[in-house]
Amino acid sequence: MPKFKSLDDALRYVERAKEDSLRDLGKHIEDIMKEEIQDQVYDRYDPKTYDRTGQFIDSVKVTDVSHDRVEVTWRNNGDWTSYAGDPMYVIHGHEMGKVYGRTSTGYRPKTYLVEESMKRAKREVPDELIEFLRLKGIKAVKK
């Protein structure tokens, strides 16, 4: 860590390091969300009546980075429709257990993409931030 002339200089350095980490942390969260789609949806079945496009996994993107937060979302980027032909937000369909499939109930089991992604992010992201800050010479520790 560089030497500082004042406490304000040191605080600005720490704030800048935190801001610099946000894009990388957002990418990590994006990866978590994509891994959950892979595990809970793509690895659970192979479609028989259509070719998988990858739009669902590609819908996960870092959509906003500001000085103190990062936003990662499941975008409605596909032309998805329900079995009835109505427009459908696919993450909602999966989370509600309303994605049609050749199962005994007619629907694929509900997923926990949001819940599991949040759990993993809360567990993994603080450690990644601490590591990033340490690489910048800041002695960060977990509470």
pLDDT (tens digit, 9 = 90+) per residue, 108-139? 899 999 999 999 999 999 999 999 989 888 88
Q: Domain range for residue 19?
A: 7-135
**129 within domain boundaries:** yes
**2 within domain boundaries:** no
Backbone angles phi, psi at 62, to 5 degrees: -70, 120
Decide: residue 10, CB within 10 A, 0-12 exposed, 13-18 middle, 19+ buried: middle
**68 within domain boundaries:** yes
CA distance 117 to 112: 8
Strand 60-65 versus strand 70-74 pairing type = antiparallel
**98 within domain boundaries:** yes
Residue of 49, 19, 56, 4 whose CA lies nearest to 34: 56
**140 within domain boundaries:** no
pLDDT tens by residue, 29-55: 999 999 999 999 999 988 877 788 899
Domain count, the chain: 1
> pLDDT-based confidence at 1, cuts 50/70/90?
low
**What's the confidence (pLDDT) of residue 94?**
92
